Structure 1
């Protein structure tokens, strides 16, 4: 049968071209990583064939035993990695090898720095394993045919690491893919049997199908006759046993780490992992990992996520998201169940009772794993929190049953240290609460500097009461669902009337009543000036060093949450703040003595605008504020 070549040249996607440039210029210091990535891709191709063959057994053709074969030619300077997995059609070759079809591409390229060490981590994080072939090769060929296609539907892809690649149809009798690497001069060392075997044992021993190489013939000793030449014989180099099926006591930490890199397509070690076998009402094995780097699409809630699902050791699907809640979407790993049918689909999983039971158990396991990491290694847990803390804060709204476990994992900045580092737990906070303190106090702000210098903290600093400093965008939404911890309600110090509970002494109460009474006339004058801008005006004892502040009504949405919703295009009803003045402050005392009503109005509006700025808000009319302030400054200098 003749094959119409139909050879075409294609240009790379811009991002792929830049990646190739980085690869070709030896981005990785550890060159042998290329073999791990290509073997991992071949393993994925075998998994996908096994899954599709469940409903279409004819795809296995006459070759049901899945394997990966690695061959080399020292004289030619080539290495070939061949699998008999699912293979690719012409369109799939162009899609998979000519573009980077993954969300976050633009973000990825923006993060490239030119620093080889840092960029190596980024590329590993982005997951572009095939391109690692160009670390050692100056020319790469791919021969492939999709399972079930005719022999004349084979495809030949070739690239020399430049701006273009070629694709043509070829005769390819067997399904699967063969990647041929034409090694660079400085990478010819890899065309060696013992070197390749050691790399496979190091990185790919856990691959669940055999990785084969030709048997190495023992050299003929002097005086011995050469044996009759036999047909070449392949042998498995790896253990070829799924790692999660082995006993934990038989698995080394390094094996766990390498398996993580295989399933996550990550170049970095995980922070921690949990390997567990469950027998009883449910029968399943799980191996769960916490990454040490966040993916680019972490905050794209509809991005691919989830565990690799196997049923009775048979691969079913990548990214089975039904077994963990959305706020744990960063977790990587494998789930192998004996209680699900082999023909299970995403739709069936959503309705299956076993799915819900496994999800509940795995969620608790992840939270326990994180709790153990927090108690055993605070520094490693801090790394985790810095990466994934904002995602964990989604938990209380999504997972009421585990709210207490989630609460113990939370970390915050607070006035206890006045450091931007979020390393204070709620248990620590409660342990430091003053006698009689009823609330866990917090303040929300757009950034740490604004939170730390907030006027709302003044009376709390004076009395030595700790306040949590919440500066993440999600925080105000989060505390709306995380309403209390250990029986202590959360209280926003910028909302409602000041309530210090029993921390307010009888003298404090008497002082507050006296201030309110003496400032009554001033409050009424200010209220008349600001009647269109505020809901209420009142004297306060919550301020020490500031003349005034804005407070949100107890039932109203905070300014941080309001800004987020407005940026999302949501129409919100108008909400006016409460204006509180500090009668003990010299500026307010000077204001109280002002007889000129126009000047009184100007000074009052200036105080109102300053309170807005101190709260981290934007002024509705900055030009008016500047005009009033300039007029006051000129008057002082006249």
Structure 2
């Protein structure tokens, strides 16, 4: 029997392994099984070269669970190890440069795997003792047993083993007994080893017999040794890709389409990326791409390899060239990773462009599901717009599709404002904004439909990319002002008439939560509606962007601001104004006359004191200004109250306001009920 100490210069190696070297305990099983697969593949390589001349036989890697003994055993029929190889590869941890490794990497354990082969030692994260029983493939080799209890001390002894290969026996420690549960172990094997290139068996398949599940004689093979991404695309059919997708994501809808990646220069990369049908939530769809290294599952956190916008895709990527840390769970910063990310972006862009060119009709049919990926790319990837602009589409309110250039040509002659800006009109909901869309169409304008999650957030980017262009929602202003062709017609009302008309409606505007209303008067023409509600494009856009950009949360806190526009040319508005003037003139005229006098007095007082320094203004002058301002405020309140009392009883005012609110889906509950009753009364 040989005894000795593992070749490190400190006894702290195992605490480091247990606590710092690996970020996730469960990957011990992946490391053990993938080591067994590596050993088996090496034997196959030796056989192919003619160095190993025997029959390969059954190469299945077997994982066995013994709950009574508290052990997990990983067995292979690979190349095995001699006693000298155990000493070299197991006892001498990372035999080159071991004296420096703890000191060098004590603050950044994640870098260690780039310099040291420590996969086997992950077993000590969950084990109180580990044994290796191994026999080399080399002629004349004898079986040996290596054991270690988690300290630097180890023992090597003779052992019995009929065939070449290795058994790794893990004696699970008391803190990790949950790994001795069959379901958990099978779940981990399915997660990490589902596509390993050598068959991996875990127990036997079961069948229902005599009222219970019983084992059969057939091995329970948990992996597919030739997953779809390893095959040549030309040999595969659509159903093969769909079937594989169902294997990866059993509960998902059928994908839109897929891209098969296969490159061997300047790096090795294979995989299949699927475009899923994204319904509403961006976050819930992330972390669906699985990263593999030589068919060993590594992680589904693929940021850094896959561009941010493509993390919404599903599928697999397999590359032995992606640098990984010791736990194979976090990607290191590396120029090669950037190259891979760029390649994937180009490959996806080229594929989308090809699909668009080959069958535009089919592409258009998928666009509503597809555009979230394109929009996300335009928002997050600096150069993606230049790739995507040729196959990105606009859809108008009638369901017709246009490329960016096609749509620009369509509206170029009709939708330029007086300053030469091209105005892209859009709606976000066909039903809710129907009347605004109809008004724009009647004017000869085209309206885009932006009803996707990221359509509106993309607007600012498109405005930067498009020359002299601006996007405006159809309800951002009255139809004549959406695209200002010339100077707006002047309102013919006198200032006091405008003010009184505004006050009549402003006094009756409802108090809605998180909403403010500002009443304004415009000359819109006799044929246009008497009232219309609009919302400022810039303010609404800021609020919508605040949902996606945390730095803009200030806008999200602000109430929605709406304009109630009164059409001074419409007969109903004229009637309201005339009736108000008639009903209120006797009471308002003396108030307005006195108000004008007091405002003139205040102007004179201000003029008298404006050139004086504060200390030069007398107390008498200060008192006079204070008294005059107080009188002005009282007169204004008196005027507002008179107008409000009148407007409160004016049925037409309330009906017009409610009609405008109803058009925008803002009339609900008690207010809607009052409107209905009032409407019935008016019909009578």
TM-score by length of 1: 0.55
Give the corresponding residue for 2:500.
525
Give the corresponding residue for 1:534.
517
Relative contact order, higher structure (CA 8 A, sep 6+):
1
Match of 2:666 among 593, 596, 617: 617
Match of 1:491 among 472, 479, 482: 472
Q: Distance in 2 between matches of 1:66 and 1:596?
A: 104
Does residue 608 (structure 1) correspond to residue 657 (structure 2)? The answer is yes
Secondary structure of the corresponding residue to residue 400 of structure 1: coil
Give the corresponding residue for 1:52.
31
Give the corresponding residue for 1:273.
258
Match of 1:178 among 193, 200, 203: 203
Q: Is the 8 A contact 1:436 1:502 kept in 2?
A: no
Q: Structure 1's 370 and 86: CA in aligned 2 closer, same or farther, altered over 3 A?
A: farther
Q: Structure 1's 581 and 367: CA in aligned 2 closer, same or farther, altered over 3 A?
A: farther
Q: Is the 8 A contact 1:87 1:177 kept in 2?
A: yes
Q: Structure 1's 315 and 63: CA in aligned 2 closer, same or farther, altered over 3 A?
A: same
Q: Distance in 1 between matches of 2:255 and 2:561?
A: 49
Once the two structures are superposed, residues 11-43 of structure 1 have per-residue CA deviations (whole angstroms, 9 ceiling, x without a partner) of xxxxxxxxxxxxxxxxxxxxxxxxxxxxxxxxx
Give the corresponding residue for 1:308.
290
Q: Is the 8 A contact 2:425 2:472 kept in 1?
A: yes
Q: Is the 8 A contact 2:530 2:566 kept in 1?
A: yes
Q: Structure 1's 600 and 405: CA in aligned 2 closer, same or farther, altered over 3 A?
A: farther
Give the corresponding residue for 1:369.
351
Give the corresponding residue for 1:332.
314
Match of 2:564 among 572, 579, 584: 579
Match of 1:433 among 395, 411, 420: 411
Secondary structure of the corresponding residue to residue 287 of structure 2: coil
TM-score by length of 2: 0.51
Q: Is the 8 A contact 1:307 1:321 kept in 2?
A: no
Q: Distance in 2 between matches of 1:150 and 1:346?
A: 24
Q: Distance in 2 between matches of 1:86 and 1:392?
A: 44
Q: Distance in 2 between matches of 1:544 and 1:66?
A: 88
Secondary structure of the corresponding residue to residue 322 of structure 1: coil
Q: Structure 1's 393 and 520: CA in aligned 2 closer, same or farther, altered over 3 A?
A: farther
* Residues 249-398 of structure 1 aligned to structure 2 (within 5 Å): 249-251=234-236, 255-265=240-250, 270-278=255-263, 280=265, 282-291=266-275, 293-294=277-278, 299=281, 301=283, 305-311=287-293, 315-318=297-300, 320-341=302-323, 343=325, 348-349=330-331, 351-390=333-372, 392-398=374-380
Q: Distance in 2 between matches of 1:371 and 1:320?
A: 24
Secondary structure of the corresponding residue to residue 433 of structure 2: helix
Structure 2 gaps, min length 5: 1-25, 45-58, 68-166, 184-198, 211-215, 417-421, 508-515, 585-642
Secondary structure of the corresponding residue to residue 320 of structure 1: coil
Q: Structure 1's 468 and 60: CA in aligned 2 closer, same or farther, altered over 3 A?
A: closer
How far 1:433 sits from its partner (Å)? 0.9
Secondary structure of the corresponding residue to residue 309 of structure 2: helix
Q: Distance in 2 between matches of 1:357 and 1:627?
A: 65
How far 1:499 sits from its partner (Å)? 7.4
Does residue 588 (structure 1) correspond to residue 573 (structure 2)? The answer is yes
Q: Distance in 1 between matches of 2:354 and 2:395?
A: 21
Q: Distance in 1 between matches of 2:672 and 2:239?
A: 63
Q: Distance in 1 between matches of 2:43 and 2:574?
A: 86
Give the corresponding residue for 1:442.
425
Q: Is the 8 A contact 2:324 2:330 kept in 1?
A: no
Q: Distance in 2 between matches of 1:468 and 1:569?
A: 29
Match of 2:441 among 461, 469, 479: 461
* Residues 77-156 of structure 1 aligned to structure 2 (within 5 Å): 84=61, 148-150=169-171
Secondary structure of the corresponding residue to residue 359 of structure 1: helix
Give the corresponding residue for 1:547.
530
Q: Distance in 1 between matches of 2:506 and 2:466?
A: 41
Q: Structure 1's 559 and 361: CA in aligned 2 closer, same or farther, altered over 3 A?
A: closer
Once the two structures are superposed, residues 383-419 of structure 1 have per-residue CA deviations (whole angstroms, 9 ceiling, x without a partner) of 533434445433333223213444555555534x2x5
Q: Structure 1's 351 and 554: CA in aligned 2 closer, same or farther, altered over 3 A?
A: same
Q: Distance in 2 between matches of 1:628 and 1:333?
A: 54
How far 1:305 sits from its partner (Å)? 1.8
Q: Is the 8 A contact 1:459 1:541 kept in 2?
A: no
Q: Is the 8 A contact 2:658 2:667 kept in 1?
A: no
Q: Distance in 2 between matches of 1:358 and 1:178?
A: 39
Q: Is the 8 A contact 1:551 1:577 kept in 2?
A: yes
Give the corresponding residue for 1:414.
396
Q: Structure 1's 300 and 89: CA in aligned 2 closer, same or farther, altered over 3 A?
A: farther
Q: Distance in 1 between matches of 2:494 and 2:62?
A: 82
Q: Structure 1's 629 and 563: CA in aligned 2 closer, same or farther, altered over 3 A?
A: farther
Q: Distance in 2 between matches of 1:636 and 1:253?
A: 63
Q: Distance in 1 between matches of 2:235 and 2:679?
A: 79
Q: Is the 8 A contact 1:147 1:176 kept in 2?
A: no
Q: Structure 1's 449 and 631: CA in aligned 2 closer, same or farther, altered over 3 A?
A: closer
Structure 1 gaps, min length 5: 1-46, 68-81, 91-145, 158-173, 186-190, 210-239
Q: Is the 8 A contact 1:390 1:474 kept in 2?
A: yes
Q: Is the 8 A contact 2:533 2:565 kept in 1?
A: yes
How far 1:550 sits from its partner (Å)? 1.9
Give the corresponding residue for 1:163.
none
Q: Is the 8 A contact 1:519 1:583 kept in 2?
A: no
Q: Distance in 1 between matches of 2:501 and 2:62?
A: 78
Q: Distance in 2 between matches of 1:181 and 1:66?
A: 31
Q: Is the 8 A contact 1:306 1:324 kept in 2?
A: no
Across the two proteins, how many residue pairs are aligned to each other?
440
Q: Is the 8 A contact 2:229 2:270 kept in 1?
A: yes
Q: Distance in 2 between matches of 1:319 and 1:249?
A: 30
Give the corresponding residue for 1:76.
none
Q: Is the 8 A contact 2:525 2:570 kept in 1?
A: no
How far 1:88 sits from its partner (Å)? 7.5
Q: Is the 8 A contact 1:289 1:333 kept in 2?
A: yes
How far 1:468 sits from its partner (Å)? 1.4
